[in-house]
């Protein structure tokens, strides 16, 4: 793995520990013009339009997914309809789309938070018995509930503990192909952030797939390299772009999967008087 760390980051006159920044990139996705999955189960409104992700494809080999969410203040501030302010609604949209597409009952999922509160173990994604053939599968209530800001979240910026837990959970399913999705701004304050990133890299090389969904900031050259797949979501990104970024991880290796490709985000240029 190529590695370069910033020596420090200063916030409010306080120098923080070295923080890795990721190299930006976009996972390729086939454009699907029709037959799109409308991910949310409730009716869309003008304030919250339906979040389309694309075709999630068909079940084949059993898979286990783990989604790790960053609830630190640097990614939770702000309100509005942009993907960052609605990151959990968009995450639920992606998981609900997978639940609808699952016909095998063996697609497994887990949700973890950096603080290790409000998460789940590895459980079936769809809330229906295995072999149930109705296409409108419903997302597991436990996963649906976990895809929200925990009421007792402390807002830690440390990924290490939740990554440790994720690796243990996924190791308990040796017969499943494993996918790890981390949604964060990757302003990590672990004691050794390079070691944490190295473990992500090792998992991507030897055990499964890693999708890094980078939230809300420009991404200069950094420490993540293929086979880790990196996508950047900005405040100017279109509604649904975060749902589609997560869906790319959930749909990886599913035959027939085709996730909608997003246009580059529209960035606001400050006007100087």
List per-residue pLDDT tens for the chain, 273 residues long.
433 333 332 333 333 333 333 333 333 333 333 333 333 334 444 455 578 899 999 998 899 999 999 998 887 766 667 888 899 999 999 999 999 999 888 999 999 999 999 999 999 999 866 555 555 689 999 999 999 999 888 888 999 999 999 999 999 999 999 999 999 988 889 999 889 999 999 999 999 999 999 998 755 466 678 898 999 898 888 899 999 999 999 999 899 999 998 877 666 544 444
Cα gap 20→118, rounded to integer Å: 26
CA-to-CA separations, 11 to 61, 67, 187, 206, 216, in angstroms, rounded: 46, 28, 12, 36, 17
Q: For the chain, how many residues are written?
A: 273
Domain boundaries, the chain: 24-41+50-259
The pLDDT score that the predictor gives to residue 148 is 94
What CATH number does domain 24-41+50-259 carry, 3.40.50.410, 3.10.129.10, 3.30.70.270, 2.40.50.140? 3.40.50.410
Give the number of other CB atoms < 10 A from CB of residue 134.
10
Helices (H), the chain: 73-76, 87-101, 141-146, 160-171, 193-206, 241-250
Candidates 238, 244, 261; CA nearest to 181 is: 244
The pLDDT score that the predictor gives to residue 4 is 35
């Amino acid at each position: 793995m190529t590695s370069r760390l910033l020596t420090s980051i200063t916030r409010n006159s306080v120098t923080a520990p070295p923080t890795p920044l990721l190299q930006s990139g976009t996972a390729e996705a086939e454009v699907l013009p029709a037959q799109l999955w409308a991910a949310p189960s409730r009716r869309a409104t003008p304030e919250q339009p339906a979040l389309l992700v694309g075709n999630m494809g068909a079940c084949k080999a059993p898979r286990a997914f783990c989604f790790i969410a960053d609830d630190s203040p640097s990614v939770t501030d702000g309100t509005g309809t942009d993907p960052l302010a609605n990151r959990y609604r968009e995450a639920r949209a992606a998981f609900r789309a997978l639940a609808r597409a699952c016909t095998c009952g063996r697609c497994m999922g887990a949700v973890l938070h950096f603080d290790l509160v409000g998460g789940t173990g590895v459980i079936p994604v769809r809330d229906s018995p295995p072999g149930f053939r109705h296409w409108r599968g419903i997302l597991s209530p436990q996963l649906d509930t976990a895809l929200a800001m925990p009421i007792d979240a402390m807002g830690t910026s440390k990924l290490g503990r939740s990554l440790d837990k994720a690796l243990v959970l996924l190791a308990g399913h040796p017969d499943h192909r494993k996918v790890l999705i981390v949604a964060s701004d990757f302003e990590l304050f672990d004691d050794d952030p390079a070691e944490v990133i190295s473990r992500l890299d090792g998992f991507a090389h030897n055990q499964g797939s890693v999708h890094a969904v980078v939230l809300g900031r420009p991404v200069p050259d950094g420490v993540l390299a293929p086979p880790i797949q990196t996508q950047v979501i900005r405040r100017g990104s279109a509604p649904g772009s975060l749902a589609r970024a997560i869906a790319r991880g959930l749909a990886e290796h599913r035959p027939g999967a085709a996730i909608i490709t997003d246009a580059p985000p529209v960035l606001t240029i400050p006007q100087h008087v």
